[in-house]
Amino acid sequence: MPKIPILVIAGPTASGKSALAIEMAQCFNGEIVSADSMQIYRGLDIGTAKVTAEEQAQAVHHLIDLIPMTASFSVADFVKAADEAILAIHQKGKLPIVTGGTGFYVKALLGLQNLDFQASNPEEVALLEKKSLDELVQSLKAGPQSDFIATVDLNNKQRVIRALQIQKYGLKNSASRPEYQSLVLAPDWPRQALYDRINARVELMFDQGIEKEAQQLYQAGGLSLQAGKAIGYKEFYPYFEGQGDLASVKAAIQQDSRRYAKRQLTYWRHQIPGLEWLPADQIQTELPERVSNWQKALG
């Protein structure tokens, strides 16, 4: 079976991925597959900078508004849903365009990441979370060792817990996945320009009424939910509990977003081999060129 060509538009938050994806969809007869761990949630629109209804009218979007804000979601869920969406788009004779800020999802989608281990058991994980890191590390060391177990960061409680679950449940029968021929491009902004964009976007979110969404998420469970940890919402919780003012909430969201962008940059730089950066001030003209050359080369 021939590889399915997909265009991936990567990059940190507020780098303009969504708009570029829409342009490419219009230009190359494509449909967009979101690779964003927060935009899959219904009701989280403003804070996740989700594409608007108008934007969705300009290009078909997949993997947005998939589940309620109280639900959990994993990379494996993403890969499964994305594979299906991409296949469907491809079969329609259209170009799948993957875009989103969740590098881990993109890495897994591109097959750069094995997902061979069994899923964790949520109840067991909840119990393990109550134990101390020390205790968890002891039981990890007491269990059967493997190459994977040896690489686990023992300071990282979350990863140690996952490792314990992997130790317990081991491998699964991995289903065969489609193979992709990908072109991965990302806008490259000067750091300060990116930060300015982030700050401005957060301002805009406040004008659009992000507080109301945050209130809903807070009431739905806040930090106890997977979605409740999203930047743009979690910073409101102390305020809802009577601490601080809106100005400090805004500043916190801006700062968390900047730091998030920094982590994303690290991820894209090192975890996605083959990713190419296009200078942001030239991307409007370079991106279509690159995509069109790529398509020609594919035949």
Partner RNA sequence: GGGAGUGUAGCGAAGUCUGGCUAAACGCGACGGACUGUAACUCCGUUCCUUCGGGUUCGUAGGUUCGAAUCCUACCGCUCCCA
Nearer to RNA, 180 or 267 (CB): 267
CA 195 vs. chain centroid, Å, equals: 19
Q: How far is the CB of 126 from RNA (least distance, A)?
A: 9
Query: What type of residue sits at position 274?
Result: G
Nearer to RNA, 182 or 264 (CB): 264
Q: How far is the CB of 236 from RNA (least distance, A)?
A: 12
Question: Which of the ranges 19-27, 97-105, 210-218, 276-284 carries the binding residues for RNA, by CB under 7 A?
Answer: 97-105
CA 170 – CA 163 distance, rounded (Å): 10
The count of residues interacting with RNA (CB under 7 A) is 62
Q: How far is the CB of 285 from RNA (least distance, A)?
A: 27
3-state secondary structure (DSSP) of residue 113: coil
**Residue 130 half-sphere exposure, CB side, CA atoms within 13 Å?**
5
Does 48 sit near RNA (CB under 7 A)?
yes
Does 206 sit near RNA (CB under 7 A)?
no
Does 56 sit near RNA (CB under 7 A)?
no
Query: What type of residue sits at position 48?
Result: T
3-state secondary structure (DSSP) of residue 187: strand
Q: How far is the CB of 260 from RNA (least distance, A)?
A: 4
To the nearest 10°, the Cα dihedral for 208, 210, 216, 222?
170
Does 191 sit near RNA (CB under 7 A)?
yes
- Residue showing tokens 């003012």: 245
Does 113 sit near RNA (CB under 7 A)?
yes
Nearer to RNA, 80 or 94 (CB): 80
Map the footprint of RNA across residues 228-267, applying CB under 7 A: 229-232, 255-256, 258-260, 262-267
Of 125, 149, 120, the closest CA to residue 137 belongs to 149
CA 251 – CA 25 distance, rounded (Å): 35
The mark string for 154-183 relative to RNA (x by CB under 7 A, - otherwise) is -xxxxx-xx---x-----x-----------
Nearer to RNA, 233 or 291 (CB): 233
Q: Are 218 and 233 in contact (CB under 8 A)?
A: yes
According to CB under 7 A, which one of 66, 67, 71, 115 is a site residue for RNA?
115
CA 84 – CA 100 distance, rounded (Å): 17
Nearer to RNA, 139 or 285 (CB): 139
Q: Are 229 and 223 in contact (CB under 8 A)?
A: yes
Q: Which long-range contacts (CB under 8 A, 24 or more apart) does 255-263 make?
A: 256/231, 257/13, 257/14, 257/198, 257/201, 257/202, 257/231, 257/232, 258/195, 258/198, 258/199, 260/12, 260/13, 260/231, 261/12, 261/13, 261/14, 261/15, 261/194, 261/195, 261/198, 262/12
The mark string for 133-152 relative to RNA (x by CB under 7 A, - otherwise) is ---------------x--x-
Does 15 sit near RNA (CB under 7 A)?
no
Nearer to RNA, 15 or 102 (CB): 102
Residues at the contact surface with RNA, assessed by CB under 7 A: 13, 36-39, 47-49, 72-77, 101-105, 113-120, 125, 129, 148, 151, 153, 155-159, 161-162, 166, 172, 191, 195, 226, 229-232, 255-256, 258-260, 262-267, 269-271
